[in-house]
Structure 1
């Protein structure tokens, strides 16, 4: 049993989704979907990465990821090539434009979040700061479920 009751769990889920949607709505500034933004970010952070590993990290089936990577390649944000360790496998890497787009979005989201956090009362900011370790652990736990 969790330390939160069902109503609190529902509130947590709803508030996290609202924060994510708010950041998406005001910071995407491009035609990328949330999934494309996530894939691009993973590729930028991890460097050249095999499609199989990327599919696992992102929780996507290989066919869907291949289509998505193709769209990102057409827009000039990713490149696909043969894995040097295994010529049969495909890996993807971010282009300079892809890395720049990832940076732009990360900076825009940070600016937007900071603007709204700065508008909170000091006690609320302290509450957010205190909740960060638990939220990071929760996020890692959910990531590991995949």
Structure 2
């Protein structure tokens, strides 16, 4: 058998979710939801971005994204501007505070994960290192929606 069995797939899904929730719990702060953190990160990484493209990347409906962008704007983390090429469309960009918050969270998550990896017994860190290419391929496949 070349793949994982159903129980192993369930274990993988569960452990990845637990890792994500653990990092969220200790790094995102009380003011932002997981979805807001993700959207802010996308805006920081992709620069000024249209709301439609952001909705596609984040997998959100436009109405929900508009509300969320409004909250991030009120918090001073991003700004909505008219699209220079299409006056009906809106683009969002991160503010200096938004870029700083994204960097803070990224650094905090990296520090937290490093602490826990360093505390693992035996060869577990080596096992994680060996698994990185497979996990990166899995993440890419899920992002792209491809299975081959």
Please give the TM-score of this superposition, normalised by the length of structure 1. 0.96
Q: Provide the residue aligned with 1:23 in structure 2.
A: 23
* CA displacement 1:31-72 (0-9 Å, x = unmatched): 100000000000000000000000000000101100000000
Moved more, 62-71 or 114-123: 114-123
- The RMSD of aligned alpha carbons is 1.4
Gaps of 5+ in 1: none
- 1:30, distance to aligned residue in structure 2 (A): 3.5
Distance, in Å, in 1 between the alignment partners of 2:105 and 2:30 is: 9
| Structure-to-structure mapping, 1:1-146, within 5 angstroms | 3-145=3-145
Deviations 1:113-135 (Å, cap 9, x if unpaired)?
00000111351111100101110
- TM-score under structure 2 length normalisation: 0.95
Q: 1:94 to 1:2 in 2, by over 3 A?
A: farther
1:85 offset after TM fit, Å? 1.6
Consecutive unaligned residues of structure 2, counting only runs of 5 or more, are: none
CA deviations on 1:80-121 (whole Å, 9 max, x unpaired) are 011112111100000000000000000000000000001113
Higher RCO (C-alpha under 8 Å, 6+ residues apart): 1
Give the whole-Å Cα distance in 1 for the aligned partners of 2:122 and 2:89: 52
Distance in 2 (CA, whole Å) between partners of 1:67 and 1:92 is: 13
Partners of 2:52 and 2:144 in 1: CA distance: 16
Corresponding residue pairs, total: 146
Write out the 4+ residue segments of structure 1 that deviate beyond 6 Å after TM superposition: none
